[in-house]
Structure 1
Amino acid sequence: MPAATTPLDRLLPGAIARHRHQGAYAALVLEGRYVEAGEGGRWQVEPGDVLVHPAFSIHADWVGRGGALVVNLPLRSAGRLPPAFRARDPQALLDLAARGQAIELPEHADALPPLQQDWPDALAAALRADPGLPLKTWSRHAGLAPATLSRGFAAAYGVTPARYRADLRLARALERLAGPEPLAQLALALGYADQAHLSRAVRAATGMTPRQLRQSNPFKTRPDAQP
């Protein structure tokens, strides 16, 4: 059972609009089933599954009948964990969290692949592989009208393809801000018009400028706490 200090989250049936979390955490599913869509793709999860959320990540959820119960486990860093995995010993994760130790991929746990059910998942995968992919070109090759593309993707991911691409670009910018790369160079490499455009996007998502974010360094991996 979760420790008394471990936060439980009861998810009601239905859709949960896209939302962003400031701190990195892992959501361990204890009861129920739901689908989550974020920058890394879509996952259908059930008890024993774990969804990993980097700092400032954004996602939407669709919760099944009966709702779901999850426990949110704070992470020092999400960088060494897969986006989703199945824990064969969920209690071991709860024990690590209760002792203040870093959560790592448990032995014999299986990484979960993102859903690949229909063309919205194929488009999401294509955008993750190439954020500069022209949407008109993709829709033409798929035989879909632009309006159909936008509506269908939003139904599956809670956001238009253009917004999803912007979220991917921002997620990559946040990852690379952990390094020493000059901001102007980073903006150019990720397709922002200029450094000011990058700064506005980062501030809108985090409430901080890129320089302030680097100083706070929420992505840095800290040493594990001792038991």
Structure 2
Amino acid sequence: MDSAGCYETRHGGGNALDTHRHTRPYAALVVDGSHVEASIDGPILCEPGTLLLHPAFHAHGNTFGRQGARVLNLPLEADLKLHRAVACTVPSLSEAQQVLRMAGPRAVRALFEASEPLQPAASDWQAAFLSALRDSDESCGAIAARLGVSAAHASRAFRRSHGMGPRALRLELRWRRALGLLGGAASLADVAALAGFADQSHFNRVVRGCSGLTPARLRAQIKCVQDASGSRMAQSA
């Protein structure tokens, strides 16, 4: 591990990582090889020079190319306001490696903002499908029929591109909404309702499954990070 907390991972050709989560936000810079990252934010082709920023508890899977991949990873500050995975192509791979290895988390945001954004490759019908999953309780079959695709095709296509079928994607969207609401003042019951969960027990199970914590403990953790961030801002003012 380097002085900034950066560490390197190596992956064999044709290998895959099943969908998984990291409890902290982190950056990943592809140094050699390639892989495709599949998540609710869409499929991203990651080649040398691709920098990805992941929010905390972001679910994603990886499929590696024939040459495998070498990736630098750096945990980021917990109060970094990331609501989705974002990717870019850095101007200089060698300089980007130095930022991750030596400069640390605070320099990563500046590096990202100086880089060329990458957009996930998703079809129009998939974007519309995800919007319907996020904004309505319409059944997956009804959404598929309205968009002119079969439910079976939608399931296969989303598993290939996003690493999850439509039902799992809907659950992930609700979890993401709940995670954002837990930093606010709404009661836990209201968070569950506003995020679209059928009842409190379902909400509790999903939060435990995604974070390993109860909603109350996760809220306390989020508040602690918010308080620490506010304190640092006050000290720097």
Does residue 200 of structure 2 align to residue 199 of structure 1?
no
Which residue of the partner structure matches residue 88 of structure 1?
91
Q: CA deviation at 1:170?
A: 0.7
Between Structure 1 and Structure 2, the one with more helix by share is 2
Unaligned runs of 5+ in 1: none
Question: Which digits, 9 at most, give the CA deviation of each residue in 1:4-59, with x for residues without a partner?
Answer: 65210112223321111111101111111111111222111111111111111110
Residue of structure 1 in register with 2:56 after alignment? 55
- Rate the CA distance shift 1:219–1:88 in 2: closer, same or farther, 3 A: farther
- Is 2:32–2:69's contact at 8 Å kept on the other side of the alignment? yes
1:114 pairs with one of 120, 127, 146: 120
Q: TM-score, normalised to structure 1's length?
A: 0.84
* Partner of residue 208, structure 1: 213
Deviates more, 1:180-189 or 1:106-115: 106-115
- Give me the whole-angstrom Cα distance separating, in 2, the residues matched to 1:80 and 1:23: 11
Q: Deviations over 1:196-223 (max 9, x none)?
A: 3212210111111111012222864744
User: In angstroms, what is the RMSD of aligned CA positions?
Assistant: 2.8
| Correspondence for 1:18 | 19
SS at match of 1:172: helix
Which amino acid letter does the alignment assign opposite residue 108 of structure 1? Answer: A
Partner of 1:177 in structure 2? 182
1:188 equivalenced with 2:193 (yes/no): yes
* Contact 2:43 2:121 (C-alpha < 8 Å) held by counterparts: yes
Describe the SS at the equivalent of 2:109.
coil
Deviations 1:36-84 (A, max 9, x none): 1112221111111111111111101111110011111111144258611
- Is the 1:42–1:115 contact (alpha carbons within 8 Å) kept by the matching residues of 2? yes
Counterpart code for 2:64 = V
Query: What percent of counterpart residues are identical?
Result: 34
Count of residue pairs brought into register by the alignment: 223
TM-score between both structures, scaled by the size of structure 2: 0.81
Aligned mates of 1:86, 1:130 — CA distance in 2: 31
Q: Which amino acid aligns with 1:111?
A: P
Gaps of 5+ in 2: none
Hey, what's the Cα distance between the residues in 2 that align with 1:50 and 1:99? 15
1:171-201 deviation per Cα after TM superposition (whole angstroms, max 9, x unaligned): 2211221222211111111111122321221
Deviates further, 100-109 or 166-175: 100-109
Listed as ranges, the matches of 1:43-192 within 5 Å are: 43-76=44-77, 77-79=79-81, 83-90=86-93, 91-92=95-96, 94-95=98-99, 98-102=102-106, 103-106=108-111, 107-117=113-123, 119=125, 121-122=126-127, 125-127=130-132, 130=135, 132-192=137-197
